[in-house]
Chains A and B, each alone.
Chain A
Amino acid sequence: MSNQPDPAGEATSDASAPSETQLPSPDILEIETVYEALGHSRRRYLCYTLFEDTEWSLTDLATKIAAWENDIPEQAVTEDQREEVYVSLYHAHVPKLVDEGVITFDEATETITTADHAEQVLAALEGIGASLDSKQETHARSDMDEQEQ
């Protein structure tokens, strides 16, 4: 008799049949949007402003972000400081967030408004904000508190 293995006698492995139910659900992949949206400090600042209001003019937004970044009151923001932020919002960060479905941008009025993915991104921002972005968080929070008073 040969020593050939008998196929029928082979131990059947429990892991032999990959379960299709273990594939991640498509929803999980949307986390990409969150990372992309929050992957730059100016975009995080922008997203913080969405807690306060769901609609912003680009100029107001630029003023607010310039004030936060320079740690000065909004009234003290110079035209140069505002323009610098405005240009980077217009040419990079706003279109990126539009792409990710976080905001919409009306070119005629230069107004941004929250879109479908805003909720998801803001929830993530709220979660990570306290530990990773404490300075921004403090800025954004204290600003909101002032508004409430």
Chain B
Amino acid sequence: MSKSSDERKIAEDDPTNGVETHQTQVTQRHCEPNGQRELTTAIIYAIAEVEGVSPSELKSPPLYESVDVPAIEDAFFGPDVAGDSRQGVGTVEFQYTDYLVKVQSDGWIRVYEPTEADLS
């Protein structure tokens, strides 16, 4: 599993703190489109890895409360179009507890953690 510390700056919309929040990528994982493992499972395994717990211990809240992952899975990796898999490129991102999760249409899942920009 390759990891990178790819740092990205995302302007904070929240007007109550004018501080920019850095999002630091903490893990990434590939989910084989149409593979045996579901996207939901792959996302939870990735976050569990970051938290250092076993995937079945990661319970609260259910991912469903953030997003309907099987629906994303269907949108990206759903039935083939005219016999070919979809060629479109896109990314869906959502917040799960403290993490920002990005799912790319090629099956890459990236998990980011916020880090205060001005702690120095």
Q: A residues within 8 Å of B by Cβ?
A: 40, 42, 83-84, 86-88, 90-96, 99
Contacts and interface: CB of A to CB of B under 8 A. Distances in A.
Contact of B63 (A83, A84, A92, A99): A92
Given A86-B56, A87-B45, 7 more contacts: A83-B54, A84-B38, A87-B56, A87-B58, A90-B62, A96-B68, A99-B64
Which of A83, A84, A93 has the most C-beta atoms of chain B within 10 angstroms of its own C-beta?
Answer: A84
A140 B1 CA distance: 37
Given A40-B70, A83-B55, A83-B56, A91 B37 contact: no
Given A84-B41, A87-B40, A87-B44, A92 B70 contact: yes
A88 B38 contact: yes
Given A83-B55, A84-B37, A84-B41, A95 B70 contact: no
- Please provide the 8 A-B residue pairs with the shortest distance between their CB atoms, ordered closest to farther: A95-B64, A91-B63, A92-B40, A88-B40, A88-B38, A87-B41, A88-B41, A95-B62
Contacts of B38: 42, 84, 88, 92
Interface in B32-77: 37-38, 40-41, 44-45, 54-56, 58-59, 62-65, 68-70
B41 A93 contact: no
B70 A93 contact: yes
Nearest to A42: B38
A91 B44 contact: yes
B56 A91 contact: no
A93 B71 CA distance: 11
A39 B59 CA distance: 24
Contacts of A94: 62
Given A83-B55, A90-B59, A95 B65 contact: yes
16 contacts: A42-B38, A83-B56, A84-B38, A86-B56, A87-B44, A87-B55, A90-B62, A91-B40, A91-B44, A92-B63, A92-B68, A92-B69, A94-B62, A95-B64, A96-B64, A99-B64
Contacts of B64: 91-92, 95-96, 99
Contacts of B58: 87
